[in-house]
Amino acid sequence: MDVLGRVRLAQVAARAVGKASHVLERCVAYAHERKQFGQPIANFQMVQQMLADSAIEINAARWMVLHAAWLSDLGESHAAAARDAIAMVKVQASETLGRVVDRAVQIFGGMGYCKDLPVERWYRDARIYRIFDGTSEIHRGVIARSLGKRGAALFELNR
């Protein structure tokens, strides 16, 4: 189970954060080059909000990945905390990727849905992250059971 957890952390959560970061970089670049009404769409408040929300969520997921990796590196004495952290970050990172890519479709507009650009592929690829290595719903069940056993402070090491 420890190996499976490390695989989830590296192959699902960390990759989801990396992919979301790449998508955000492409969205920022596109928002500055695409013009509507004589100005870049990056000047529009709703586009700014979508970019900011994506940056906030990616940063939170990235810190969760680092924290879960740290807990995992602490070894057997913190195995339960590491398992809980990995379950949480698997859900958070995969769902963050989904939201970031959904916003990318909005920012790219109709072109975001066409096969001419990579956005529609990102959208399809992002969906699988919430499914493989255990669905988000399964991981939420794991987290809920841990809450019942260990209480609400799952990241505290002394519990």
Strand partners, 36: 39
State pLDDT tens for residues 15-41.
999 999 999 999 999 999 999 999 999
State pLDDT tens for residues 82-120.
888 899 999 999 999 999 999 999 999 988 778 888 998
- Report the CATH number that the domain containing residue 10 is assigned in CATH: 1.20.140.10
Considering the domain boundaries, does residue 118 fall inside one? Answer: yes
Mean pLDDT across the chain: 89
Considering the domain boundaries, does residue 40 fall inside one? Answer: yes
Considering the domain boundaries, does residue 159 fall inside one? Answer: no
Spatial contact of 53 and 88, defined as CB atoms under 8 Å apart: no
Considering the domain boundaries, does residue 115 fall inside one? Answer: yes
Considering the domain boundaries, does residue 125 fall inside one? Answer: yes
Split into its structural domains, the chain has a count of 1
- Output phi, psi for 158, to 5 deg: -90, 10
DSSP 113: G
Which residue segment(s) compose the domain that 129 sits in? 2-150
State the distance between the two ends of the chain, measured CA to CA, in whole angstroms: 21
Considering the domain boundaries, does residue 10 fall inside one? Answer: yes
Given a cut of 70, is residue 3 above it in pLDDT?
Answer: no
**pTM for this structure?**
0.89
Given a cut of 70, is residue 123 above it in pLDDT?
Answer: yes
Considering the domain boundaries, does residue 47 fall inside one? Answer: yes
**Residue-level pLDDT at 1:** 54
Given a cut of 80, is residue 5 above it in pLDDT?
Answer: no
Considering the domain boundaries, does residue 157 fall inside one? Answer: no
| Weakest mean pLDDT among 8-17, 48-57, 147-156 | 147-156
